[in-house]
Amino acid sequence: MYKVLVTDGISNTGLKCLIEHPNFTVDRQPTLPTKDLKIIIGEYDALIVRSQTKVSEELLKAAGRLRVIARAGVGVDNIDVNAATKKGIIVINAPGANTIAATEHTLAMMLSLARKIPQAHQKTVSGQWDRNSFKGVELYKKTLGVIGMGKIGTEVAKRAKSFGMNILGFDPYLTEERAKKLGMTKASLDVIAQESDFITIHTPLTNDTRGLINDAYLRKTKKGVRFVNCARGGVIDEKSLVRAIQSGHVAGAALDVFEKEPVSDPELLQNPNIIVTPHLGASTVEAQEKVAQEVSAEIIEIFESQSIQNAVNMPQMSGETQAKLQPYLLLGDQMGQLVIQLLNKQAPAKIEINYYGDLIDEDTELLTRTMLKGVLSYHLSDSVNLINALHLLKEQGVSYNVVKNATNKGFANYMELSVSNVIETAKIGATVLNGYGARILKINQYRIDVKPEKFLLYIKHRDVPGMIGKVGSLLGDHQINIGTMQVGRTEVGGEAIMVLTVDKTLNANVIHVLKLIDGLEEAQVLELSNVDTFEPGRLELEKIKNI
């Protein structure tokens, strides 16, 4: 008998299959304080939460029996996934169940914004019959810019077409062919700014998308543009948006998500041109039933059939394979992150992974998925995991190939990861040296020897005397501390690179000044999100083998 604890308000209908299953006992404690949850969590095998319960590392320390955490929704921001992973706890979610709900809420917000429905309602119920203050605009023949063409963005675009809107779409993985099939136009962010009457956001919150809609971007937009955000708070810089609305350049905004929730900023709550809702994108009866049904069914599958479909942190693997590959997993993820940044943050069309040496005798599927996840996560953030990486590649039309070669390349094990599109190719070569740890040994055609660090400054330059000194002096003038420096070249006096580990990132001004150095062709900060640990984790259920 497996015990399941449900700590947030979750649909009884959605939980029906668990409640009625003879091998499961379901306890519902929707308003349980954290201190009380810590006392009882040790009794349970599975935990189902929505967004209210915070599953922290401290809570997990008391969870001796816990083997599955299910988020009845998409995001897992309220779950310490790393802590769960280290304890061998699977974290699952329901990634597709709220697509329609979020799509329809976006359209509802857009219509409310266009016709000022909330404001008109409020004035009418207050006893005022005012037909002159709420003149709206039509969606018909207007241009809608969709930033982020994942599942929800795609569904919004399909429905907006039925209003007779002209659709512009931006996504790092949107191809011309897919855009044509959807009856829309692939566009850059700048084109969307210049031509859109409405702009709707459907991207994850990543380092690249945080503050994407800021003062600089808003200045590029068409006067009278209206914004809708039902995706993630933080993609729109709220202060910048308020300023643009107050100036009259932006006509209004409809926001369901905020940088800080619950939202309390009076500039957002009291502005007559801003419509706000309290993160209701997934709040429909149907969506809540679907997410509960999905996670309930998967919990049964995990415990009864040893099948995992929507794990955020657990690929299928044997414990023996994991032990052999463990030293390479962090490095593989880092290689993926670095190589996509070297491709100038553009979407790849093709990925190739080469394994050399002893690695060719191992089942490297886990390592391959880890590299692919690293590549994809730069654009897709926490929506990509080790389970869905291959599916997302196929969905985005990206091909990949794995080659195993017995040649040792001078090392017992060596890996090369190459990504390319029609414009360029980027390549990273690396290994794990016994006693020294992970090393980056190749960037494109250049040989180097660099330990992966959080911030790497990659510079391409002409191989001329004094270049290293100029770079070092300039960084010192800007209080940038250098940890290590490595240089690589293919011929004397030709093109060369230097890779520096630095203690903090460089702002745009420092990069700009670096590029003014005579002979310096390119300067770029490569940032790694994980430099300490990476552990896919082990599932220790007695009945589950070969995971």
Say if residues 200 and 235 touch (Cβ distance below 8 Å): no
Provide the CB-side half-sphere exposure for 420 (13 A, CA). Answer: 11
Measured CA to CA in angstroms, residue 391 lies from 90, 325, 396, 397, 488 at distances of 20, 23, 9, 10, 37
pLDDT for the residue numbered 310: 79
Joined tokens for residue 540: 């220790």
- In 265-388, which ranges are continuous DSSP H helix? 266-269, 285-300, 319-342, 365-380
Pairwise CA distance, residues 344 & 324, whole Å: 33
526 burial type by CB count under 10 A (0-12 exposed, 13-18 middle, 19+ buried) = buried
Pairwise CA distance, residues 141 & 164, whole Å: 5
- In sequence order, the β-bridge partners of residue 472 are none
Pairwise CA distance, residues 339 & 524, whole Å: 12
> At residue 45, what is the residue type?
D
Number of other CB atoms surrounding residue 58 within 10 Å: 12
Q: Do the bridges between strand 446-450 and strand 250-255 make them parallel or antiparallel, or are there none, so unpaired?
A: unpaired
**CA triple 439-445-446, angle to 5 deg:** 55
Joined tokens for residue 542: 């007695």
Q: What is the 3-state secondary structure (H, E, C) of 52-70?
A: CCCECHHHHHCCCCCCEEE
Say if residues 59 and 282 touch (Cβ distance below 8 Å): no
3-state secondary structure of 23: coil
> At residue 212, what is the residue type?
L
What is the maximum alpha-carbon separation in the chain? 83
pLDDT for the residue numbered 407: 75
pLDDT for the residue numbered 268: 97
Beta strands (DSSP E) in 119-165 are: 143-147
Pairwise CA distance, residues 392 & 383, whole Å: 9
Pairwise CA distance, residues 174 & 13, whole Å: 37
Going by C-alpha positions, the residue among 258, 259, 254, 248 that lies closest to residue 274 is 254
N-terminal to C-terminal alpha carbon distance within the chain: 21
**pTM as predicted:** 0.74
Pairwise CA distance, residues 214 & 243, whole Å: 10
> At residue 39, what is the residue type?
I
Q: What are phi and psi of 293, to 5 degrees?
A: -65, -45
Joined tokens for residue 206: 């990543």
So which residues are the catalytic ones?
232, 261, 279
Beta strands (DSSP E) in 396-547 are: 399-405, 413-420, 425-433, 437-443, 446-450, 455-462, 482-489, 495-502, 520-527
pLDDT for the residue numbered 319: 57
**CA triple 530-533-537, angle to 5 deg:** 120
Residues of the chain with pLDDT under 50: 533-547
Sheet holding 90-93, edge to edge: 24-28, 2-6, 46-49, 68-71, 90-93
> At residue 377, what is the residue type?
S
- Dihedral sign for Cα atoms in the order 90, 91, 95, 98: positive
Tokens 């919150």 correspond to 205
Pairwise CA distance, residues 405 & 538, whole Å: 29
Pairwise CA distance, residues 457 & 501, whole Å: 6
- What percentage of the chain's residues is helix, strand, coil (to nearest 5)? 35, 25, 40
Pairwise CA distance, residues 327 & 375, whole Å: 19
| Total residue count of the chain as it appears in this document | 547
Pairwise CA distance, residues 206 & 320, whole Å: 34
Say if residues 90 and 69 touch (Cβ distance below 8 Å): yes
pLDDT for the residue numbered 535: 43
Pairwise CA distance, residues 95 & 74, whole Å: 5
Number of other CB atoms surrounding residue 476 within 10 Å: 11
Say if residues 259 and 233 touch (Cβ distance below 8 Å): yes
Measured CA to CA in angstroms, residue 409 lies from 355, 358, 359, 430, 441 at distances of 10, 11, 12, 11, 11
3-state secondary structure of 164: coil
Q: What are phi and psi of 76, to 5 degrees?
A: -125, 30
Say if residues 27 and 37 touch (Cβ distance below 8 Å): no
Q: At what angle do helices 151-161 and 99-115 cross, to 10 degrees?
A: 50
Pairwise CA distance, residues 490 & 416, whole Å: 18
